[in-house]
């Protein structure tokens, strides 16, 4: 073609043709050649790396460079190549919202259901990003709609939890499972209630989602909405028939969660609809006790007006285990103590074992004028009762004085002798100060233990630390959906 135009110009000069129109045609044609040449070479491939077209394909898709994508695919690049995290070109195109690239890669044979290491398929990415057209295109292409990521979350669950309700509704229309729970059993309805997604919650109910479905801990969507303070969703669920009397595995009902959150309005509404006010949790707490624990006098009055009963039983639900040191200027003993603690009245029952790690010098009187010197080892077992008084207390920590009394049986031996000291029963009162939390407690106190040995003084310092183990069944009052945090 270029040769043709050169010949035309040559003829013009040879034959002295001065037709202006012919000259203008030649100039326009030459300009067109120049422009066409620029279009042909406009694709910038300067970012390519040598000898790795698979990697170049990932770069091109990430840049949205369609012409380079075509070029690389024509040169044989692997359309399903992945990054070190397993991400494919199609996933990049979906994440960037590039529908034309998604279509191009799909038409060239990209694997629509391939998973990266985190499990988020191209469809899941589109659902999370609220890319309706891309998600619908995948659905039309018969992608597997119910694939889940490493957290067990499907595309529908993500769309519901992020209130991408149009995408969610469309996927359900094409056959996605509206009950597909994550690894903890959180269904799309529970996820939407957790994350305050009212429109998604309403659409799921309209689509027939199970309103009282539970997660692995027994939470319903209603419990979840109340615990998170999402009142509009809670009232919608109640209006649509959610079971207000259901309890989770910790024995907590919707009313228990409303009371725990100091939500008077919700508590009153649930009571008026027939919620059980005398329900006990698996840990033995009544709803009235929960109200008292959060210091909400208004709800306490509401519950008592509706015949909520007081529970006088203690709650021995903490096992405390740890070492202590028992000493004064004349003696030193080590010990290990275990206690069962009540966190309602501050009562504890304890048992301990103490021993003298090194023999102590004592005199044993055999007559009015004769005494023998021995090196005494001593041991004791004890059982005791203590009462603590919380002067300062919050949900996690408490501190204050304590009093206690213990009965000891003590025995021992004399080093290098067949003679043993007499076994004795001793009453040992104590008083001191403690500090503790949910996981531990520590104390320092004065204890009176009279071994009736003149060389060993009876007044002793008792210093200890212990680990607390919760014996009650899991409270389950702090639901978390980790992939939404």
Other Cβ atoms within 10 Å of 447 Cβ, number:
21
Q: Provide the whole-model pTM.
A: 0.75
CA 418 – CA 458 distance, rounded (Å): 26
Confidence at residue 50, expressed as pLDDT on a 0 to 100 scale? 87
Quick check: 443 and 433 in contact, CB under 8 A? yes
- Asked if 201 and 165 touch (Cβ cutoff 8 Å), the reply is no
Angstrom distances, CA of residue 75 to CA of 33, 57, 72? 27, 11, 5
User: Counting Cβ atoms within 10 Å, is residue 57 exposed (0-12), middle (13-18) or buried (19+)?
Assistant: buried
Other Cβ atoms less than 10 A from the Cβ of 451: the count is 21
**Which segments in the chain show pLDDT lower than 50?**
1-42
- Half-sphere CA count of 484, side-chain side, radius 13 A: 25
Residue 158's pLDDT is what?
98
The predicted-structure confidence for 315-373, as pLDDT tens digits, reads as follows 888 999 999 999 999 999 999 999 999 888 899 999 999 999 998 888 877 777 777 88
Q: What is the pLDDT of residue 370?
A: 79
Question: Rounded CA gap, 444 and 462, in Å?
Answer: 6
The phi, psi pair for 416, rounded to 5°, reads 75, 20
Q: Convert the pLDDT of each residue in 377-423 to its tens digit.
A: 999 999 999 999 999 887 678 999 999 999 999 999 888 888 888 89
Please report how many Cα atoms fall inside a 13 Å half-sphere around the Cα of residue 367, on the Cβ side: 2
Q: How far is CA 465 from the centre of its chain?
A: 29
What is the phi-psi region of residue 16: left when phi exceeds 0, alpha when psi lies from -120 to 50, beta otherwise? left
Q: Other C-beta atoms within 10 Å of 209: how many?
A: 21
Contacts of 311 (CB under 8 A, 6+ apart): 280, 284, 285, 286, 288, 289
**Could you tell me how far CA 394 lies from the centroid of its own chain?**
23
Backbone phi and psi for residue 164, each to the nearest 5 degrees, phi listed first: -85, 65
Q: What are the structural domains of the chain?
A: 2-40 (no CATH), 316-470 (2.40.160.20)
pLDDT at 473: 58
In 165-315, the DSSP E strands lie at none
| Helix 165-173 × helix 132-140 angle, to 10° | 10
Q: For strand 424-437 and strand 397-414, is the pairing parallel, antiparallel, or unpaired?
A: antiparallel
Chain centre to alpha carbon of residue 229: 18
């Amino acid at each position: 073609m270029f040769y043709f135009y050169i010949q035309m110009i040559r003829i013009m000069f040879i034959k002295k043709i001065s037709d202006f129109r012919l000259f203008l045609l030649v100039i326009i044609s030459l300009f067109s050649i120049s422009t066409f040449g620029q279009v042909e070479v406009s694709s910038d491939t300067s970012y390519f790396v040598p000898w790795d077209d698979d990697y170049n394909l990932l770069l091109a898709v990430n840049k949205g460079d369609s012409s380079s994508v075509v070029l690389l695919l024509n040169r044989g690049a692997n359309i399903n190549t992945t990054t070190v995290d397993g991400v494919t070109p199609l996933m990049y195109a979906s994440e960037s919202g590039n529908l034309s690239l998604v279509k191009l890669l799909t038409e060239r044979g990209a694997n629509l259901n391939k998973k990266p290491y985190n499990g988020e398929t191209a469809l899941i990415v589109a659902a999370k990003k609220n890319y309706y057209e891309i998600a619908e295109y995948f659905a039309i292409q018969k992608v597997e709609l119910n694939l889940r990521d490493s957290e067990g979350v499907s595309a529908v669950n993500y769309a519901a939890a992020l209130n991408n309700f149009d995408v969610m509704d469309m996927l359900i229309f094409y056959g996605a499972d509206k009950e597909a729970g994550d690894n903890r059993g959180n269904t799309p309805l529970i996820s939407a209630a957790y994350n305050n997604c009212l429109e998604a919650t309403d659409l799921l109910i309209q689509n027939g989602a199970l309103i009282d479905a539970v997660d692995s801990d027994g939470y319903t969507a209603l419990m979840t909405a109340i615990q998170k303070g999402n009142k509009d969703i809670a009232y919608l669920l109640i209006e649509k028939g959610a079971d207000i009397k259901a309890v989770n595995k910790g024995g907590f009902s919707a009313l228990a969660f409303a009371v725990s959150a100091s939500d008077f309005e919700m508590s009153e509404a649930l009571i008026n609809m027939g919620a059980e006010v005398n329900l006990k949790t698996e840990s033995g707490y009544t709803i009235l006790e929960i109200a008292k624990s959060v210091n909400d006098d208004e709800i306490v009055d509401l519950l008592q007006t509706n015949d909520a009963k007081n529970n006088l039983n203690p709650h021995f639900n903490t096992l405390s285990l740890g070492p202590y040191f028992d000493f004064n200027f004349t003696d030193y003993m080590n010990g290990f103590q275990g206690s069962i603690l009540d966190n309602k009245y501050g009562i504890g029952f304890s048992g301990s074992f103490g021993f003298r790690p090194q023999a102590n010098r004592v005199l044993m009187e055999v007559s009015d004028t004769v005494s023998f010197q021995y090196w005494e080892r001593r041991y004791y077992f004890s059982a005791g009762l203590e009462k603590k008084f919380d002067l300062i207390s919050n949900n996690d920590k408490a501190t204050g004085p304590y009093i206690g009394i213990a009965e000891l049986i003590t025995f021992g031996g004399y080093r290098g002798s067949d003679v043993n000291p007499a076994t004795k029963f001793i009453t040992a009162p104590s008083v001191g100060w403690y500090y503790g939390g949910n996981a531990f407690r520590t104390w320092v106190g004065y204890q009176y233990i009279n071994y009736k040995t003149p060389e060993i003084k009876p007044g002793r310092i008792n210093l200890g630390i212990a680990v607390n183990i919760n014996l009650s069944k899991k409270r389950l009052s702090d639901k978390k959906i980790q992939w939404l945090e």
